[in-house]
Amino acid sequence: MDSIPLVDYLMLDDGPYLVANECTHCQARYFDRRSGCAKCGGQDFRSVRIADIGTLRTFTIVHFAAEGVEVPFVAGIVDCDGTSVRSNIVNVSPDPQHVRTGMKVRLTTVPVGVDESGVQALGFGFEPAE
């Protein structure tokens, strides 16, 4: 089955992995397209690959969500070698006995849907690496 990434910064070749736009002046990183750096005002960026292993810095267990979104789930912020990534924490029970700050996690893909021609859209999440 053919697959496409749900977001532009998710790469599926040799991966998966994430790519950020890094300011060439101050090294601030952004996952969206930028004309100027919010930190220093610089206007030059380069693409950088983000580490696919990280540390869960903070999280919350979500019990209420939009209609059609399965709850509970874990939403967190992962430190990937200095780059903060907001993501769901997947493939783990959504309770404090199984999720903790400081745990090592790794990037993984998550199926989001399949279109009428059979192409699968893939999102990303982080799963326990230990």
Mean of the pLDDT values across residues 23-45? 95
Residue 86 has pLDDT above 90, yes or no: yes
How many CB atoms are closer than 10 A to CB 10?
19
pTM of the predicted structure, to 2 decimals? 0.92
Give the model's confidence band at 1: pLDDT under 50 very low, under 70 low, under 90 confident, else very high: confident
Question: Do residues 57 and 78 make contact, with C-beta atoms less than 8 angstroms apart?
Answer: yes
**H/E/C letters for each residue in 39-58?**
CCCCCCEEEEEECCEEEEEE
CA-to-CA dists, residue 106 to 50, 59, 98, 122, 125, angstroms:
11, 15, 15, 16, 8
